[in-house]
Structure 1
Amino acid sequence: MSASTINIGLVLFPGLTQLDLTGPAEVFARIPGANLQLLWKTLEPVTSDRGLSILPTTEFSACPTLDVICVPGGPGQIELMTDDETLDFLRRIAPTCRFVTSVCTGSLVLAAAGLLSGYRATCHWSSIDQLSLLGAIPVNDRVVRDRNRLTGAGVTSGIDFALAVAAELAGPETAQEIQLQLEYDPQPPFHAGSPRTAPHAILEQVSTKIAPFIASRRAVTEQVAQRLAPSHPTEVR
């Protein structure tokens, strides 16, 4: 495959989880011909949920077309779901993208824009059930592809997701080269990275700690679902 330019845009927003963005960005930037753009309303620094500041490279208004659009997740995703400027940008850019993608709760933002209606998708384990409120079909897999929609589950799955996208764009061999360059060979010290493997007591503790936040996210998801209901149809590709 030739190394012609591949325009890949990742959406920045205040309160994002930086690894949702920087994990995929590290993979995407190694794809031959990749032109990576970090997108936001302005070029002012954007602060992540843990305090890391990231500089956008391109404003929404200056981004005419993309091959890939990717929306990360994080606590700031809640406000983004009712942010008309961001949702309108996603609706404008998606129809000409080769792939419309997300990591973690970024899939809820895509769904809020009406871009996952009728599509299988995944999300962070704590909020995956909310996808169905917005017309998507929740799937508990680390990476889910449905036609030209690719979604990754929580945070660290963004690397798996990005390698899957790299394989689609540049072929499996190139994706494997990138994986080796990154020495991506996970061997976690604990088997606690998923509700399916975590000790029950750990799962209960984490679920209890995050319950108030998840409830606030769900409340906004339900509001968005009501707003989407009358005009839910979205072109399926």
Structure 2
Amino acid sequence: MRASIALAFQRSANVSRAALYGTERDAQLPLNLAADARVPFLGYCGPRYAVGNPVLLAINSGGGADEYRERHAEDRELIPLVEAFVRANQGTRARTFEAMSRVYMQHVQTWNLKNIVTPTLEACGRTVEEVCYINLFPYRTRKNNMPSAKARYAAWENIVAPLLNELRPILLIALGKKAGRVAERFPQPTSKLFVVPRTNGDRYVCDEAKAVLEMIRNAT
């Protein structure tokens, strides 16, 4: 099972930014570090993930701000691992997948996003190692803006849908209404969708999010 998940992740990670936008140089390409904006920050699959476990769905990766002119320490660690996984052959795919997933999983736990991820995991009765975390649109956008509608829907059809077919989660949990609105357009027959609202900067869990988290608890 793990080998087939790694293959599904690699196939999704090889869907290029240009394929999603339909052009090699799109209007949402960040001002600086264009090469890094073409790296697919797809997400990770926890080492204890089992088919049917929850999948957490965010909208897209950060790092596209105009003031971002050089790689920070996190990127210096993660980007080479992502690039190695994307180009891995059959013999190195599993190893590079695990290396990328391990570091990505560690990073998620240091972001402000952890303020919504942690209570979400608690609501589903899972640990960070038992879930998959996916960025619906895996590429950075200028000023971290919402990807265009065309790019979002292309990403769902070419990246997210194939992954969900492999992962078969019972719970699909969108982290934020932006990801949730796209997921609602493409209902999954085997997954129950929950949309957990996020606050600006993910500084706290709002009352609306708390209500959704309670529904998740009741569903598990």
Q: TM-score category by the smaller chain? A: under 0.3
TM-score after normalising by structure 2: 0.26
More strand as a share of residues: 1
TM-score after normalising by structure 1: 0.25
**Larger relative CO (CA 8 A, sep 6+): 1 or 2?**
2
Greater C-alpha Rg: 1
